Amino acid sequence: MEPTTVLVINGPNLNLLGEREPEIYGSDTLADVEALCRVACEAAGLTLEFRQSNHEGVLIDWVQEGRRGIAGLVINAAGYTHTSVALRDAVSAVTVPRVEVHISDIHAREEFRHHSYLTDVTDHQVIGRGVAGYAEAIQWVATSRD
């Protein structure tokens, strides 16, 4: 039987969505994002596993645990996008569809945010579409499985 779970992993400070820099990230909370992802998964006939951590090693462990037995990986590595070769290496070992998500347009922000260590090891990127980008990423996973 083909796996049906989409693993959505969120990196550091995303637990502060709705509070931290709402002019950049909007007013939706991480709970709102999870609800949006759940609806998107249900519409696509998939199930959701949704996680967030501020700790790089925990994120790496989750990627490694989920690299088999899932339908796809959606990852918003937040600040680790620009700094973590270790997280990049974990994502590169995933063999199911992988989508990098960023709520803001990282290419229109500070220079240090322009480089992503994940772009070359993910199959698709959704950048600067707000929290709706998560639903777009899940839909991409669903259609890439067909």
Structural domains present in the chain: 5-144 (3.40.50.9100)
Residue 76 is assigned to a ligand binding site: yes
* Residue 72 host element (H or E): strand 72-76
Single pTM value for the model: 0.94
Q: What pLDDT is recorded for position 112?
A: 67
Rounded Cα gap, residues 120 and 137, in angstroms = 16
- Mean pLDDT of residues grouped by 10 in the chain (146 residues)? 93 95 88 98 97 98 92 96 97 96 86 87 96 98 86
The tally of CA atoms less than 13 A away on the side-chain side of residue 137 is 35
Catalytic residues: 25, 102
Q: What pLDDT is recorded for position 65?
A: 93
Residue 10 is assigned to a ligand binding site: no
DSSP state letter for 47: E
Residue 82 is assigned to a ligand binding site: yes
Q: Look at the alpha carbons of 36, 18, 64, 126 in this order and tell me if their dihedral is positive or negative.
A: positive
Q: Look at the alpha carbons of 41, 34, 129, 110 in this order and tell me if their dihedral is positive or negative.
A: negative
Closest CA relative to residue 40, chosen from 124, 134, 135: 135
